[in-house]
Structures are given as C-alpha cells and as structure tokens.
A and B are shown apart, each in its own frame.
Chain A
C-alpha cells in the first residue's frame, strides 16, 4: 500500500530517530558517569593530600567521622592505595603515608550519593531534551517538507488536469525556487508540448486524408453513374457494377464518418445553441417511421420542451444514430421504447445478442453484428459527441433487450422552460 511522502518521511524519522537518540543517551550516560567518576577521584585525591598535609602539620585529629580516619600501622603494607566504593554510600581512598619513620594509613571518604543523584538528574534532563528534540524534528520536518514539496504537488495537479483531447494546456510553474522541480516542470512541459503536437498532427492527418479521399471517391462514383448508363449492359456486368457501387458507397460513408469524427476531434463544431430536443427527437422518429417499411412497434415517452445547449448538427447525429441503431439492429416484429425527461434520454430495443464485449461497442470499427450495411462508426460518433458535451452514455443488455441511456451531465443540464 502506498503512503504519502509526508507519512513515509515521518515513519522513517520515527523509526530511526528514537534509535539514534537512545544510542546517544547510552553513550551520553557512559561518558557522563566516566567523567563524574574521574572528577570524584581527583577530588578525593586532592582532599587526601590536603588532610595529610594538615595532619602532618599536627593540626588535625586522627579521625573526623564521614571525612577521614588515620590509623598508625605497625608494619608498612605493600599498597599503593586504591579507591573503593562502600556499601554505606561512600567512596573511599586508602593510602599509606610515612611521617617520622612511622607508617600511617589514611582513609578519606566522600559521599557518592550526591554524585549518583546528580547523574540521575542530568540523565533525566537529557532524556527530556531528547524527547523535545525528537518531537520538534518530526514537526519541523513535516512542516518544511510540506512547503518544499508544494511545487511538486502543484505540478501533480496540473498534470492531472491535463487531458490531451479536452484541455491540452499544461503550464506548471517555470520558477519554483528549487532546481530539481524547475527541471521536472520543464521536462514535463516539453513532453506535453510534444504530445500535443503529435496528437494534433495525427488529428490533422486523419482530416486531410479524409478530404483527399473524397475526390477519387467522387471520380469513381461519377464513372459508375456513367457506366450503368452504357448501352448493351449485360446482367453479369451489371451485377459486378452493383457490387462495385455498393463497395464504393460504403467507402464514401466510412470516409464521411471518419471526417466527421476528425472534425469533432479538431473542435470544428464550436457554435452552440439551445435545441429543443423533444421536438428534434419526435421529428427524427417520424422521419424514420416514414422511410422504413417495417418500422418496429414504437413506444414514446417524450416529455415536452427539454432543451440542450449544443451544436444542432451534432446533436441530430447523436440522436439519429441511436434511433437508427435501435431500428437497424432490431428484428421483424420487434419494438423500440424511447424515453426523454429532464435528466436523461433512453432507448430500449429488442434485437439479437451481441457478439462482442459491450465495452467495445462504442469503439471505432467495432460491430456487434457482421452486418455489411453498417459502418461500425455510428456509436463511436455517439460517444465522441456525448463526450464533447459531457453527456454520459451507458449501455446495458439483458435477454436480447438492448438499452442505451444518455444522462445529461451537470455541466449541461437541460432547462425546462
């Protein structure tokens, strides 16, 4: 599972920083006790020296409780003097001295309780400081990384707003104050510019190609029109000509649809107006009913005065294609049901089951049937036009009933008036 940069950063800090601080504390403790011990020993030795000098001068008694004690030795012991801790909380230094050929053992004491108390206090303070350190490092780190990564998040937002087809302006900040981000933004801007160029070249290419194809198609068509009028046409030749004519017309139709798709891609339908789609739908259906002999049984539930703001030519293509689709892919004695209200348009029809995945139905050149009479571009056009105006198209089918729903998005709510 992925985490945000900030979470990740904090997690690393919280994993490693306490370890480092703990290690630091141990080290600090060891060094601190070492220094304290050293200081204690020095102090003890100094005290002993002072006591001995004072004793030697005869101004001190043999013993002061809690400070020192001097005992006269009958025999010198081979002892250089050592520092010991007693159970009663003192640190003790015993050493031999010689005064007037007499041997004395001087034992000096200092309390070690104070030192260990100090040690504990210093150590506790240190722990507190370290905790404070840990807390502030994490907080400062979070704050500063938030600020540092700000340009990155802006770039990210710009990248997610970028859409090669709809919004191809991509302009992250050129100057973020951070070299790496400047570079990132520059690279991304260049990349987007290259993409845009390639995309627009490709779109332009499709449009130009379709345009260029029109003329040879027109020539073939005109020659065929002349040819079918030649005297002495035999039945065999006529059948060949009929096939050629049909293929050529199919090509023309494909080309026209491709050109239309390219033009929508190239935003060549900028003008929009408020269209009464209730009227438009009724007239399209009436028109088809008149033209088709075996028009399916039609069930219309069209609310009055539903408006949509769009290009009239494109909206007509959208609805005609959907209705035609429902008619052409029907079977004799089938039905269509058209519903239009303020929020959506839906069309339902009886028909054969699909031979392709429903998800591919709106792709270019995908056909649900191998019917030679369709181009495979009708629904692609529907999708393209719907996308242009933010309409949502949903296809479902069940038991040979096909259902297409067009939901009018919030961006283009049809207004009732």
Chain B
C-alpha cells in the first residue's frame, strides 16, 4: 500500500509516516504545495493524507488539481480548521474523508483503512483477524466460526481495534472514535472501559479472551 503524506509540520508528518511505516505502508512525504503536486502527479497512491495550509498553496487547490487530472487516489484531508464549510468544501472537491487536528494516529489509520477497503475492496466485506470474522455489511461477528452478538458500539469498537491490530490504542482514541470529535466528554472513558469489559467477556466465552489486552491504563491492544 502506498501512502503520500503532504503536511508542512515536519514533526507531525514524521509521526504519521512512522506510524504507517510500522503498519506496513510504503510512505512518501511532501512538505510543500509544489512538492506535493509533483509527487502526486508522478505516482499513483492508495491514499494521500493532505493538509490544507501548505507553504506555496492550499491543499484544496492541490485536491482540485488532482481531480481535474482524473487522478482517483484516495484523499483524506487533515486540517486545523473544523468549520462545516471547510469540511463541505473539501468533500465537494472530491476528498474521501476529513479529519480535524489534533487527531489520534489510530483514528487516521482507521480512516485510511476504511477508505482503502471502500475504494479498492475486492467485493468481499468480510474482515478477518485471527479467529475473528467481521462482516462489515451485515454487521455480524463470527468467533471461531460461530455467531456472537455484539451491540452496535461493541461492533464499532471491535472493528476499530482490528483495524489497529497489534497496536496500543489509547482510551481517548477509542472514546473519540465512538462518540465523535465534538464529544466534550472526558467522562466517556469510564464507558469505554465498560464496553471493553463486555467485549472481553464475550470473546472469553469463545476462548479468545487473550486477544484483547489492557496496557497499563493507557489503552487496549488486540493481539492477532
């Protein structure tokens, strides 16, 4: 999988590149508008992570340029601006997703994976992770080939953890993923805990309790 990260803030860009490289992506990076245009023109990427404020130009212009060029690379905009108009402008120009800074890398990862699944999925909507099989269309879960019922939130949580499998996902990231960005809601961590508890219980009943690990009060990890 090839990824292009266009972000002027070198430190943030490096974090994104590191995270995705660890996940097995092939990452290219660009720090300016010109560099971004050049790389996007020269290669085909599965996904482009695009900042809006760039030295030399605007990320939305870059997106416009790409789409006019009939380039179909998946694009996820990352921006410090979270006005609805910016979001709509980005999506209107053909962005696939929009994420507001600051975001969790696990959330960005989930968005990239979802985008890739949507865009390049081979028709099958089943996601496999170890002994788990998630049917994304039917929202059903098979553990060791037997159906286990999960609530909507538990399903979303499981999907998020599978997307970020073998990595520690912080409680904050889970809370934001489940409750949305605008949740002025640090209290929701307690509820993340209770979802995790239920999830673990259901997995344990099928003998998969060890898959889900708590990491010292930091977060959780789904080991495959």
The tally of residues in B whose CB lies under 8 Å from a CB in A reads: 44
B83 x A217 contact (CB < 8 A): no
* Residues of chain B with a CB closer than 8 A to A292's CB: 188, 191
Summarize A's interface: helix, strand, loop or mixed.
helix
Q: How far is the CA of A328 from the CA of B119 in the complex (A)?
A: 40
Instruction: Say if the beta carbon of A173 comes within 8 Å of chain B.
Output: no
Partner of A239, one of B186, B188, B217: B217
- CB-based contact B80/A246 at 8 Å: no
Q: Is the CB of A217 within 8 A of B15?
A: no
B49 to chain A, nearest CB (A): 12
CA distance A373 to B172 in the complex (A): 12
Q: Which residue of A lies closest to B216 (CB)?
A: A238
Known A-B contacts A225-B104, A291-B188, A375-B184; the reply to A263 vs B83 at CB < 8 A is yes
**Does B80 contact A215, Cβ atoms closer than 8 Å?**
yes
Residues of the A chain whose Cβ atoms lie less than 8 Å from the Cβ of B215:
228, 233, 238
B94 part of interface (Cβ distance < 8 Å)? no
Q: Which of B18, B82, B184 contacts A324 (CB 8 A)?
A: B184
Instruction: Give the distance in Å from the alpha carbon of A256 to the alpha carbon of B185 in the complex.
Output: 12
Pick from B22, B173, B191: contact of A293, CB under 8 Å: B191
In angstroms, Cα B152 to Cα A291, docked, is 10
Give the shortest distance, in Å, between A346 (CB) and chain B (any CB): 21
Known: A224-B170, A225-B19, A378-B184. A214 touches B219 (CB 8 A): no
* Residues of chain A with a CB closer than 8 A to B168's CB: 228-229
Chain A positions 232 through 246: 1 when the CB is less than 8 Å from some CB of chain B, otherwise 0: 010100110110011
In the complex, per-residue mask of B93-127: 1 if CB is within 8 Å of any chain A CB, else 0: 00000000111111000000000000000000000
B138: CB under 8 A from chain A? no
A242, B188: Cβ atoms under 8 Å?
no
Closest to A238 in B: B216
* Residue of chain A at shortest CB distance from B219: A228
Q: Does A268 contact B (CB under 8 A)?
A: yes
Is A222 a contact of B15 with CB atoms below 8 Å?
Answer: yes
Decide if B139 is an interface residue (CB 8 Å cutoff): no
Q: B186: which of A218, A221, A249 is its contact (CB, 8 Å)?
A: A249
* Interface assignment of A374: CB less than 8 Å from any CB of chain B: yes
Question: 8 Å CB contacts to B: which residues of A348-378?
Answer: 372-375, 377-378
Give Cα A372–Cα B218 distance, bound, in whole angstroms. 17
Give the contact-size bracket for chain A: 35 or more
Contact (Cβ within 8 A) B186 A223: no
B185 touches A233 (CB 8 A): no
Task: Kindly list chain A residues whose C-beta atoms are within 8 Å of the C-beta of B191.
Answer: 291-293
C-alpha gap A220/B152 in the complex (Å):
31
How far is B189's CA from A328's CA once the two chains are assembled, in angstroms? 12
Q: How far is the CB of A24 from chain B (nearest CB, A)?
A: 77
- Mark interface residues in B194-224 (1 if CB within 8 Å of A CB, else 0): 1000000000000000000001111100000
Contact indicator B15/A225 (Cβ below 8 Å): yes
Query: Which residues of chain B are within 8 angstroms of A245 by Cβ–Cβ distance?
Result: 170, 172, 218
Say if the beta carbon of A57 comes within 8 Å of chain B.
no
- Rounded to whole Å, the gap between the CB of B113 and the closest CB of chain A is 15
CB 8 Å contact bits of A254-293 with B (1 = contact, 0 = none)? 0011010001000010000000000000000000001111
A313 within 8 A of B: yes
In the complex, chain A residues whose CB is within 8 Å of the CB of B83: 263, 268
Task: Kindly state whether residue A142 has any CB partner on chain B within 8 Å.
Answer: no
Interchain CB contact (< 8 A) of A218 among B82, B102, B178:
B102
* Interface residue ranges, A against B (CB under 8 Å): 211, 214-215, 217-226, 228-229, 233, 235, 238-239, 241-242, 245-246, 249-250, 252-253, 256-257, 259, 263, 268, 290-293, 313, 317, 320-321, 324, 328, 372-375, 377-378, 381
B residues with a Cβ closer than 8 A to A are: 9, 11-12, 15-16, 18-19, 22, 80-84, 101-106, 151-153, 167-168, 170, 172-173, 178-179, 182, 184-191, 194, 215-219
* Interface CB pairs A-B, < 8 A, 14: A215-B80, A217-B101, A218-B103, A222-B15, A223-B11, A224-B170, A225-B15, A225-B106, A226-B18, A228-B215, A246-B186, A263-B83, A372-B186, A375-B186
Known A218-B80, A233-B215, A259-B82; further 6 A-B contacts with Cβ < 8 A: A222-B15, A225-B15, A235-B216, A238-B215, A242-B218, A268-B83
